[in-house]
Each structure stands twice: as C-alpha cells, then as structure tokens.
Amino acid sequence: MFAYCTDPSTLEGLSWLSCYLTTGKHMAFYASFGTVLLLLAVTAPTALMFGLGGAIAARAPVPPISWLGKGYIAIVRGVPDIAFFLFFVIALDQGIEWLRHKVKCPDWEEPIRQGSDFLVCDLAKMPLNTAPQWIHEIYGFWLAVLTFAIVFGAFAANVIFGAMKAVPHAQLETAAAYGMSPRQVFRRVLLPQMWVYALPGLSNLWMVLIKATPLLFLLGVEDIVYWARELGGTKNARFTDYPHGDWRMWYFLVLLVFYLGFTKVSEIVLARITTRLSRGQATMAGEALRKAEG
Amino acid sequence: MSCFETIQAYAFRSIGFGERLLPRGEYTLCDQFTLIGSGMLWNIYFGVVAIIFGFVFANILALAKNAANPMIRRPAEWFIFLFRGSPLFIQFFFAYFVFLNLKSVSPLFDSFTAAGVGALIVLFLNTSAYSAEIFYGALRSVPKNDLEAADAYGITGFNRFRRIVWPTMLRLAWPSYTNEAIFLFHATTLVFFSGFPAWRQQGDALYYASYFADKTFNPFVPYPILAFYFILLTLVVISLFGVVNRRLNKHLPHAQKTRMRLRLNLIR
C-alpha cells in the first residue's frame, strides 16, 4: 500500500502495523463487512415479501392454502434456524440442479441419486463447471440470501399475521359496509393500518437478523468470520512478510465491537422511526407524544 | 447390524461410550436416528445446566439493573448490552480464542477450551443476560398496589422482596422466560460450528446431522430427523415450564391467569 512497505521486516511499531493492516487480504477482510451489509440490505426486503406472502396465505379462507401458510410459520420457527441454514443451502442447490437437469437433459437414463452421490448431467450443473470463480461466489451468495429470506420470512410472517389480527375489526367491517370488496378492504384498510402494529415485532426481527449474519460463514460465503479466522491464525515467517502469533482473539474482538456498534445504531434509528410513526396514532405512545407537545 | 445392535453401539456415542468408529458406507434410517438422538444428549446438557445457573445469575443481574446506585446498575447494564447486542456465534468464537490464549497463562484454564466447559460458560452468560432483561422488565411492571398492600401489612425489606415482589416478577416473566429457554436449546446447536472442536467426533445433534448430510449428500433425511427431535424437546420444555406456570398462578382467579403464549424461536 504505502511506499515504505516494500520490506516489512525492517519496519517496527506503528509503521509496521499500517503496512500490515493494508495488505491485499486485509482489504478483502474490510470488503467482507460490505458483504454483510449487502446481505442485510437484500435480505430484509426479500424476507418481508416472504413474510407478507406467508401471512396472507395463513389468513386465506381456503383451508389447503392457510395450512400451507401456517405450516411454513410453525415449522421454521419450531426448529433451530441454523439447521435450516445448513439444510436449505444443499436442498436449494440440489433442487435447482434437478430442475435444470429435467429441462436440459431429458434423455438422461440413469437415476440422479446413486447411493451417496447426486449426479446430474454437466449441462445442468449450477453454476457450470466452466464458469469463472466469481460466478461461483455470487451464486453462493444468492443461495445464502434466499436461505435467509426463507427462514426470516417465516418470522416476519408470524409478526405480520399477528399485526393483521390486531387491526381493529370495526375498521374492516366499516369498510365492508361502504361496499368495498374483500380485496379492496385488504388493500385500502388492512394493509396500511397493519404496519404500526407490526413495527415493534419487525424491529425486533431486524436486530435478530443482524445477529444472524455471522451464520453466512456456515453457508460457505467468505464473510467476516471467514477472514477473521484466516487472518488471525498464526503466520509463519516462511509464508508471509508479516509473521505473527495467534491473533484470532483480537480479530474476533473487532467483530464483537462491530456488531455491538451496529446494534446500538440500529436501536437509536428504530426508536426514532417508532416515535415518528406513533405521531397522531390512537395509541398510548401517540397520546404521550400529543401531551408532550402540549 | 440390526437396529437394536445399532442402538446398543451408538446410543451413547456422543459422550464416549459404545462403538468408537462412526458407521460407514450405507447409512440406515436407524443409524441416523440413533446417532442424532445420541447427539441430543449434548444439547440437553448445555441447555439444562445453562438454564439452572443462568436463572440464579439472571435474578441477581435484574436486581442490579434495577438498583438506584449507578455503581451497581451500570455494570449490569453493560453486561446485558454486551451479550444481547452481539451474535452468540461471535461470542463463541471470541471466547474460544480467549480460552486458548489463557491456556498459556495458567494450566488452570486447560479444560476451558473443551466444548463441555467453555461453551457452557458462554451459554450461561448469554442466557443470563437475555433472562435478566426479561426479569428486569417484569420487575418494573410489578403492580404498585401489591407493594402498597405489603407496606400496609408492615412487610418490609427482604421479606417484602421474597414474599411479594419476587413471586410476582416470576409470574409476569414466566411466559417470556419459557420462550427464552426454548431459544437457548436451539442456540446450543451452534456450539460445534463455532471453534469448539468435537473431540473424537463426539458432537451434538446438529453435528451428526450435518455429518450425515455431508456423507450422503442428501439433506432430506438427517435434518428432518433433527427437526423431529427438537420439536419433541420443545414440547417437553413447554410442558415442564407449564407446570411451573400453573404453580405461579395458582392463587389467581381463573380469568386473570397469564396464559402461556408461545412465541417461538428467534435466534440470538
């Protein structure tokens, strides 16, 4: 990075540290913080969509659909989510390859599951064997996003399902009395009013989502946990210009501080949003605001 | 090998009894059920011990957070924020490497890098922080009337706490505390994926489930088995905590009883 970094063995103290912290691998480490933020930015809206879908399905008047919605909520929530993370990554990967296999290689005779192997034709491999490394990494990242969205979608579905129930029933009845169709009641009355009731649950969910991001590591993405382990491990002078002992403890301390800061900032922002949304609402918080403003 | 023999060989494999080698080649359903079930022993051990000790510590923490003296309140607040504000996964990693470094300081810390001790300490501290927050919230919402009634009867000091405040706090906190216990059991599955090594392949239920999924490349059998065990465990936890909940609410007329509302699983 810096001009004086050409021979690190002569450096000491701060200048050594400044060179050490700007190596290419450290840059990748810093970039992985971006990966985490990107995951959050993509997952949160996707999970919300899954949640909305799940909640609407669970409310459906047709039994098979409502069972599907309720089953989705119940199963994902009853089982440790890390198990789902490990499960869905393989299951989604195999599912996608199986579908592509059916479409692209209809002449394939042999069974796909042979004992302990999962065999599809080369054309159906996802991504293709010939694809460059970065495609593999991006594919892995999207599998992770989808997995997160499925798991957190179930939590969100539960929150939204509850929020929809919390909307005063008189509001819906009034809307129906004005001659709105069930679809109009849903879109014009239920959906806009639901958010205030869903917000506490959803903000709680956001905090949980932040704290679930290190699990990316288990999905095989090169995230901050991966790099902290990689960079912190003992480095021998023979293989690197910057030999050092086992520093993993300090790297994980940095991660710990990063997450603490992140949750603190989120807490402050969410508190602001809650206040903003409570203004003018017929709730206790709204009433307190009104009194405070005089 | 018949299923009965499999159970004999592997039922306690996770804690070091029975067959040393894990099953090879073709894995039967029985193999998977037995070994994953055997791994559940770890999950139950972590969960039960952490809950028992965590309960005591959480009560102390909640009282400390409620204290007027900032010298007592501040450390409790910081402790709770530290453990609730960061991912358990990172806490496990950090603690493991701290224990690893401490090993060179004193042989006293030798056993701490083993999952059975080190991870248990992290889980204990973590559940203490989460439960303390629940208890603190309940402590703040003990009805004022109860305290006034206690004053009127001349019950003061520690007696007032032991006979009025504490039982009411527990009663109010119990439904949330039940959820916390369920989370904790779910969180125990993180242990062997976060630095703590599974010595001689003695791991928990998820460790074996992912072992089978890796070997057979078929996630559709081991993970549903794991799910089955965990749903069973969750039901046991709910019914046990339900007994306590009924005991705590015994004195109330029927309508006022705090119903157990289940809000399952949000990981930490």
Distance in angstroms (rounded) separating the CA atoms of residues A39 and A152? 13
Distance in angstroms (rounded) separating the CA atoms of residues B97 and B105? 13
- Record the tokens describing residue A45, joined without a space: 């809206």
Provide φ and ψ at A121, rounded to 5°: -70, 160
Q: Give chain A positions within 8 Å (CB) of B112.
A: none
Q: How many structural domains comprise chain A?
A: 1
On whether any CB of chain A is under 8 Å from the CB of B127, the answer is: no
List CB contacts of B221: < 8 A, sequence separation 6 or more.
B29, B32, B212
- Record the tokens describing residue B237, joined without a space: 């936890």
Say if the Cβ atoms of A252 and B230 lie within 8 Å.
Answer: no
The whole-chain average pLDDT of chain A stands at 80
Between A75, A118, A259, which is nearest B87 by CB?
A259
ipTM of the complex: 0.82
Type and span of the H or E element at B165: none
Cβ neighbour number for residue A29 with a 10 Å cutoff: 22
**A57 residue type, one letter:** A
In order of A122, A248, B125, B161, the CA distances from A234 in angstroms are 40, 8, 29, 53
Residue A262: which domain range?
A: 3-293
Q: Give chain A positions within 8 Å (CB) of B98.
A: 249
Q: Which pLDDT does position B46 carry in this prediction?
A: 94
Say if the Cβ atoms of A82 and B267 lie within 8 Å.
Answer: yes
Burial of A244 (0-12, 13-18, 19+ CB in 10 A): middle
Distance in angstroms (rounded) separating the CA atoms of residues B53 and B70? 25
Residue A272 sits in a domain whose CATH number is: 1.10.3720.10
Q: Which pLDDT does position A124 carry in this prediction?
A: 67
Q: What contacts 24+ positions apart, CB below 8 Å, involve A264-267?
A: A264/B81, A264/B85, A266/A206, A266/A207, A266/A210, A267/A207
Distance in angstroms (rounded) separating the CA atoms of residues A113 and A109? 12
* Smallest Cα distance from B248 to chain A, Å: 26
Distance in angstroms (rounded) separating the CA atoms of residues A162 and B105? 53
Cβ neighbour number for residue A206 with a 10 Å cutoff: 20
The terminus-to-terminus CA distance of chain B in angstroms comes to: 41
Q: Which chain B residue has the Cα nearest residue A208?
A: B268
Say if the Cβ atoms of B266 and A91 lie within 8 Å.
Answer: no
Q: Give chain B positions within 8 Å (CB) of A91.
A: 219-220
User: Which pLDDT tens digits describe chain B residue by residue (268 residues)?
Assistant: 677 877 777 778 877 787 777 777 777 888 888 888 888 999 999 999 999 999 999 999 999 999 889 999 999 999 999 999 899 989 999 999 898 888 888 888 788 888 888 999 999 999 999 999 999 988 888 888 888 899 999 998 889 999 989 999 999 888 888 888 888 998 899 888 887 888 778 888 888 888 888 888 788 888 888 888 988 898 898 889 989 988 888 887 765 555 555 554 444 4
Distance in angstroms (rounded) separating the CA atoms of residues A174 and A194? 16
Distance in angstroms (rounded) separating the CA atoms of residues A215 and B203? 19
Say if the Cβ atoms of A87 and B213 lie within 8 Å.
Answer: yes
Distance in angstroms (rounded) separating the CA atoms of residues A197 and B233? 32
- Record the tokens describing residue B212, joined without a space: 């089978």
Residue B86's SS3 state is coil
The topology under which CATH files domain B32-256 is: MetI-like fold (1.10.3720)
Best residue in B84, B230, B267 for a mutation probing chain A (most A CBs within 10 Å): B267
**Least confident among A169-178, A205-214, A232-241:** A232-241
